Amino acid sequence: MAEKRAVKNKAMNKKRAIKKKQTMDKKRAVDKKKATNKKSRQQDNLQKNNLVWMVGGEAGYGIMAAGLIFAKTFSRGNLNVFANNEYPSLIRGGHNTFTVRVSDKPIHSCISKIDLLVALNKETIELHKDELSENSAIIYDSSIKSINAKNINVNKGIRLCPVPLERFAQELGEKKIMMNSVAIGASLALVNYDFNIFASVIKDIFGEKGPRIVDTNLRAAKEGYNYVKKNHKEFGFELKPVRAAKKMVMTGNDAIALGAVNAGCKFISAYPMTPASAILHNLSAWAKDANLITVQPEDELAAINMAIGAGYAGVRSMTATSGGGFCLMVEGLGLAGISETPVVIVEGQRPGPSTGMPTRTEQGDLRFPIHASQGEFPRIILAPGDVEDCFYLTQEAFNLAERFQCPVILMADKYLMESYKTAEGFDLKKIKLNRGSIVSEKQLKPLKLKEFFPRYKFTPIGVSPRTLPGMKNGIFISTSEEHDEFGQVTDDPANRIRMMDKRMEKMEQAKRAVPRPVLYGTKKAKITILSWGSPKGSILEAIELLKKDGINTNFMQLTCLHPFPANEVAGIISSASQVIVVEQNKTSQLSSLIREHTGDEIRYRILKYDGKPFPVDYLYAQLKKVIK
């Protein structure tokens, strides 16, 4: 009941707000009529529901939290949001940004321009002034006097909006951290957005911390909002709720964790490491609701071995790490391979080698999990490209791990895992639970076994029936050594050949069970783009831009890299006159895989390995350069 009432109140608040807004709109319309020629010219160019907002400053000022609040404020107005962060590996100081792109059209990636910059320090202005778009604005603290027309390109119509951010924060008796709330209020006023929607986000996010925190944040934001309404009236951008529906907004890490829970994952052991830590954070926070156990062990060696132990015991289990942590898991990967234990491993890539650039993005590890560990054994490697893929492919990963009794690696990267994107509701029943060939105790009862159960029985499909410890009549040895059908160690050459063939047969079977590549655009196109992972978002937008230029391109996204979809890739390559590979590494590892599996040499490659993602505009420009 209480919830219903709250919803009703919210709805009434919204109605009131809309009415208030309508009156304000009318008032502004009158103001506009009185405006000068120059002003009306600006009005013609008014950008509606299309904005890139960036907040920048030192670490420790709550920039990430402010960014998420800002993003949610618009997703609750049914607008689409894409938000990404950039930060160095430290806790205080350094330069941090959080960029939110808002649009009423579908958006999938970041873009390299800023329409509204919130600078919590002077450095932010210095670093980003050249990215400001025409008619953009900068909100900054009034105490920074050195910002003026001399160092800002006013020809582009950039507006300077000093706001006493720090003073308002201090007047509320709060530390500087409240500056970002003042700045959000100021931003909302500039883009003329409904303050009540923002208030609802604050209430939900800070509700647990108590009414005082909610109240202080709201008052801080209102100060900023009112100040801008009074002192800075004109701005070339406006954001309006589309209708009274709301969308989800989440990161790739959120979607992976949600996918894991929906797949019935009950155990995660993971050692914290950027960019994968949030998977463990999420699952730890939901442990009670989702009836699962999370362990933060001493290292990644323990993490994967615990997950393998849980998998052996019959529980859907996972671990999550980055390339560096995966290095430590390699011996465990082989153990899962030879003992035929299901386990899901998330490999969140960041620029290497070694510590590399810990908080930046790259796709330099593609070949690593394919070849990791000594010997040959089946493994499956999936690569989500966006939040939706993260949710569904994680569930596929758990099914495949149990169906083929092998490790499944989910390859993601920092940009995908930590960027926020709006998502429509998920289809919770889309991926059906498939636990493979687990034997029931009932099936075991009538068996007349000499002593051990043939857990590694030779079968035509390579998958053997699986018992779980605790099942009567099902005992067997699981081992890291070569073994016979019961798990007993043997070096017998004939057994070795049969056991290797049995295990590798699972890979042949998996070829028909793994997710297929996804084709975007027409079935046949003169130009084909091939890619995997997070560049998906920018590619989807870039092919739309190319279409407007009259260039028809299609895009094949590889969602499973191992086993490699050789037929589909060879097919699309032969049907296109120009094939371009897009990926975030130096040596174009996807191109090398394509050559390995199809014999085709990819001549056109758009590669990026500077630690930053592919913005849409950058990719579009690169594509225009190489397209013949």
Partner 1 sequence: MINESKMKPEDYLSSVQPNWCPGCGNFGILGAAKLAFSQLELEHHQIVVVSGIGCGSKIPYWLRTYGFCGLHGRPLPVATGIKLSNPKLNVVVFAGDGDGYGEGGNHFIHSCRRNHNLTYIVHNNLVYGLTTGQHSPTSEKGFITKTSPFGATEEAFNPISMAISAGASFVARGFAGDPKHLAELIVKGIEHKGFAFIDVLQPCVTFNKINTFDWYSKRVYRLEEAGHNPANKKAAFERSLEWGDRIPIGIFYKEDKPVYDEQLPDAKIPLVEQKLEKVDIRMILERFY
Distance in Å, CB of 323 to partner 1, minimum: 21
Binder among 15, 457, 472, 624 for partner 1 (CB under 8 A)? 472
Asked if 242 interacts with partner 1 (CB under 8 A), we say no
Asked if 12 interacts with partner 1 (CB under 8 A), we say no
| Angstrom distance (rounded) from CA 169 to CA 216 | 9
Residue 155 per-residue DSSP state: G
Q: Which residues from 56-95 bind partner 1, rule CB under 8 A?
A: 75-76
Q: Which residues contact 564 (CB under 8 A, 6 or more apart)?
A: 593, 596, 597
> Which residue's CB is nearer to partner 1, number 170 or number 479?
479
Binder among 312, 377, 415, 555 for partner 1 (CB under 8 A)? 312
Asked if 450 interacts with partner 1 (CB under 8 A), we say yes
Asked if 551 interacts with partner 1 (CB under 8 A), we say no
Binder among 57, 224, 241, 314 for partner 1 (CB under 8 A)? 314
CA dihedral 40, 43, 44, 50 (to 10 degrees): 170
Asked if 435 interacts with partner 1 (CB under 8 A), we say yes
Number of shown-chain residues binding partner 1 (CB under 8 A) = 73
> Which residue's CB is nearer to partner 1, number 118 or number 261?
261
Q: Quick check: bond before 563 cis, omega within 30?
A: yes
Asked if 250 interacts with partner 1 (CB under 8 A), we say yes
Distance in Å, CB of 282 to partner 1, minimum: 9
Contact 66, 221 (CB under 8 A): no
Distance in Å, CB of 425 to partner 1, minimum: 8
Asked if 6 interacts with partner 1 (CB under 8 A), we say no
> Which residue's CB is nearer to partner 1, number 18 or number 301?
301
Pairing of strands 114-119, 80-86: unpaired
Asked if 526 interacts with partner 1 (CB under 8 A), we say no
How many other β-carbons are positioned within 10 Å of the β-carbon of residue 354? 7
Binder among 85, 99, 124, 269 for partner 1 (CB under 8 A)? 269
Q: Is 434 helix (H, G, I), strand (E, B) or coil?
A: coil
Judged by CB under 8 A, which stretch of 10-18, 56-64, 484-492, 514-522 contacts partner 1?
484-492
Binder among 149, 313, 461, 504 for partner 1 (CB under 8 A)? 313
- Residue 116, φ and ψ in degrees, nearest 5: -140, 115
How many other β-carbons are positioned within 10 Å of the β-carbon of residue 470? 10
Asked if 476 interacts with partner 1 (CB under 8 A), we say yes
Residue 470 per-residue DSSP state: T
| Angstrom distance (rounded) from CA 40 to CA 370 | 59
Strand order across the 50-59 sheet = 159-163, 132-141, 114-119, 50-59, 93-103, 80-86, 420-423, 248-251
Asked if 217 interacts with partner 1 (CB under 8 A), we say no
Judged by CB under 8 A, which stretch of 120-128, 458-466, 487-495, 516-524 contacts partner 1?
487-495
571, exposed or middle or buried, with CB in 10 Å at 0-12, 13-18, 19+? middle
| Angstrom distance (rounded) from CA 70 to CA 55 | 10
CA torsion through residues 490, 493, 495, 497, sign:
positive
Distance in Å, CB of 478 to partner 1, minimum: 5
Q: Which residues from 332-371 bind partner 1, rule CB under 8 A?
A: 332, 335, 339
CA torsion through residues 363, 349, 250, 49, sign:
negative
Asked if 272 interacts with partner 1 (CB under 8 A), we say no
> Which residue's CB is nearer to partner 1, number 120 or number 265?
265
DSSP H or E stretch at residue 533: none
Q: Which residues from 369-428 bind partner 1, rule CB under 8 A?
A: 423, 426, 428
Judged by CB under 8 A, which stretch of 260-268, 507-515, 549-557, 603-611 contacts partner 1?
260-268
- Residue 471, φ and ψ in degrees, nearest 5: -80, 130
Q: Which residues from 557-616 bind partner 1, rule CB under 8 A?
A: none
Asked if 438 interacts with partner 1 (CB under 8 A), we say no
